[in-house]
Structure 1
């Protein structure tokens, strides 16, 4: 962020604090808010990532008497500008971690401040605890819930009064329980420090959600027993967005088929786990004279043809060992996972060509006869190079193009053969 953006955000933060009401007379000057914003902005882009500056900001907010929990919501809203301006691919995760540390520092400092006056401390902490925008829960050394605020209850789909006495692990998804237990055991063995954990939890209505937690050990009454303080947030929407972005990065938006990036990832995964005798197959399909379709009917019609070709190939090549991908333009590739031989490649190529023999609708009334050429390759997997496998199939494709429409060629290092 440049100086002007930081200054604008600081003024917005100050105005938001005033508009919220209940602001103490020691309202931080814009200069102080600017300092906090700069610290958080630097932490957002730091390598390696360290969210601890946000903890210090949370502490300082309390020291400036910003102890009304209602102030946390407008503060988080203004600070969300850091996320909007970030260009990092992991900015959402980092911002979530910063908010968690901010809440943790805020809560921890309130505990210290309120310790000076137990009666006042209990009243103020209860207000902050119950109304905090972040989830806060306290567990004993056996993982049993001692206290949990309203946000925690909303996250797990329960009422606040139902949580005390419930084992934290019982709320987790069965596949994540062992991981969480190991994280907590390691923390108790060290007897100090802070850990971060992301995992799924199961609500009573059957829905599965994601939570991100920052956990630290605190002393119980009398300073004897260690308690686990967890500050968290619901990251279900963030996880869903990450899954959506992951899918979009690996799939063709026109056909919905896996794209070149996904194909190369699958090839590399197969190569990494293949046995010494395993073989893999690729069938590289290219539509014959597809450019003429775009020239005659337009690109919208061309896209419609490509979508139909992708649909047919995906519907026809149904074997779990076959993955149909679109790697660009009018090029489609069928990946034949081990075990594969020339007979399997032959069958796959013939099936792909047969799929296109039925005319494809173009426009409201026209039917277009389609054909394609295919270059195929069957090669040992161990030690193979994904790009070379694609290149070998491409060589076969060019030979098939030279042999005429609707043919396929199996590429070998020493020779190739065509099949009608």
Structure 2
């Protein structure tokens, strides 16, 4: 019987439910116990319960194993001589099944507890924010990192609506993302937005949001995993600004000027005109040669400061596009008179001597090439080239002068 039983269990075993190597020894011992219990007086079926539990502890948990077990054990019934052997055998099988199922349930519960404990360790100690929300957007649970991120105590977060933590200007965007997710009933969405802390500070967060099933598979929940990206956003802004500003003067550079031009072109209406005034310092190389490049840099920085202080406004952008060249961009509406006024102001600003050392100011002059041109549908680089052409004409006309070049219309 032990040989037949162990062979049947081996046939049923597969993968993680494979029988142990000493299966023959185990089945022999169990048959002895069950045979003794079947013929004992008074009758006590409890050993069968213990055998069922030991089967689970021996990793004999494949669902198919119970059928050959019952078939093999009918041999005990054939050996028994008690008048009530059939009832006793039925009781033994019932206790065997009870012990087996009870131990199997306990193994499952223990495994769930271990899994829950492991999840809790990960949840509580994760470096990222993890939060679970119900279908109304109310926080069901949030880990300590989430609490630190939003500046709240962990015990105060459950019951708080996620939208209430967001910056008012970003709530509609988040609401639409969540609505889209629930309408699809599956998938993942990425969201970046601002959130407000109780201390009044506004920070940036990035979240990956996924729909998951609630306990028992009932209802949908929103799982959000996020991080504080305030520093990253600040660094991105700084890098963006550095890429678009001249480090010496702090003025916008050629890239920034071109982007502003492109924005004006995109929004321009028929008939809108812009002005561009290119300024180039006359004989700036002499300053570098006589006083050194450090002095030359200080002169450029001072010229940039003066031009910015004198001209910069919501309609005029002053930029340094390289070397000793500066540009004033006049947004629409612009005409010849406006360009003339800016060009003359630029020349007058440069005429004031610039100190390069104690008691040693440097007198300068400049040339300005200006262009007034239609902007709708124009090419930003072509506009800059036209203004550059005006600058060359001004240089040819002599020091301290300006020349107006009319784009497309001639002149």
Do Structure 1 and Structure 2 share a fold, with TM-score over 0.5?
yes
Q: What residue number does 2:255 align with?
A: 261
Distance in 1 (alpha carbons) for counterparts of 2:216 and 2:110: 15
Give secondary structure in 1 for the equivalent of 2:321: strand
> How has the CA–CA distance of structure 1 residues 282 and 371 changed in structure 2, closer, same or farther, with 3 Å as cutoff?
same
Give secondary structure in 1 for the equivalent of 2:211: strand
> How has the CA–CA distance of structure 1 residues 319 and 220 changed in structure 2, closer, same or farther, with 3 Å as cutoff?
same
**1:107-186 matched pairs, under 5 angstroms:** 117-186=111-180
Distance in 2 (alpha carbons) for counterparts of 1:161 and 1:415: 73
Q: 1:202-231 CA distances to partner (integer Å, 9 max, x unpaired)?
A: 111111111111111111111111111111
Aligned residues: 303
Distance in 1 (alpha carbons) for counterparts of 2:121 and 2:213: 21
Q: 1:137-188 CA distances to partner (integer Å, 9 max, x unpaired)?
A: 0000000000000000011011101110100011111111111111111111
Q: 1:252-296 CA distances to partner (integer Å, 9 max, x unpaired)?
A: 000000000011111111111100011000000000100101111
Check whether the contact 1:115–1:121 (CA below 8 A) recurs between aligned residues: no
Give secondary structure in 1 for the equivalent of 2:270: coil
Matched, 1:247 2:254: no
Q: What residue number does 2:381 align with?
A: 387
Q: What residue number does 2:323 align with?
A: 329
Distance in 2 (alpha carbons) for counterparts of 1:351 and 1:396: 17
Distance in 2 (alpha carbons) for counterparts of 1:321 and 1:204: 39
Give secondary structure in 1 for the equivalent of 2:351: coil
State the shift of 1:386 in Å: 1.3
Give secondary structure in 2 for the equivalent of 1:374: strand
Check whether the contact 2:369–2:404 (CA below 8 A) recurs between aligned residues: yes
Distance in 2 (alpha carbons) for counterparts of 1:386 and 1:115: 70
Check whether the contact 1:371–1:406 (CA below 8 A) recurs between aligned residues: yes
Distance in 1 (alpha carbons) for counterparts of 2:130 and 2:401: 66
Distance in 2 (alpha carbons) for counterparts of 1:131 and 1:401: 68
State the shift of 1:123 in Å: 2.6
Matched, 1:305 2:292: no
Give the TM-score normalised by the residue count of structure 1.
Answer: 0.70
Distance in 1 (alpha carbons) for counterparts of 2:358 and 2:110: 80
> How has the CA–CA distance of structure 1 residues 194 and 271 changed in structure 2, closer, same or farther, with 3 Å as cutoff?
same
State the shift of 1:115 in Å: 8.5
Check whether the contact 2:353–2:363 (CA below 8 A) recurs between aligned residues: yes
State the shift of 1:120 in Å: 2.6
Q: What residue number does 2:103 align with?
A: none
Distance in 2 (alpha carbons) for counterparts of 1:135 and 1:364: 58
Check whether the contact 1:280–1:340 (CA below 8 A) recurs between aligned residues: yes
Q: What residue number does 1:347 align with?
A: 341
1:377 pairs, out of 359, 371, 376, with: 371
Give the TM-score normalised by the residue count of structure 2.
Answer: 0.72
Choose 1 or 2 for highest CA Rg: 2
Check whether the contact 1:148–1:160 (CA below 8 A) recurs between aligned residues: yes
Which aligned segments of 4 or more residues in structure 1 are displaced greater than 4 angstroms? 413-416
Check whether the contact 2:315–2:330 (CA below 8 A) recurs between aligned residues: yes
**1:171-210 matched pairs, under 5 angstroms:** 171-210=165-204
Give secondary structure in 2 for the equivalent of 1:176: helix
State the shift of 1:365 in Å: 2.7
Structure 2, unpaired ranges of 5+:
1-107
Give secondary structure in 2 for the equivalent of 1:405: coil
State the shift of 1:124 in Å: 2.5
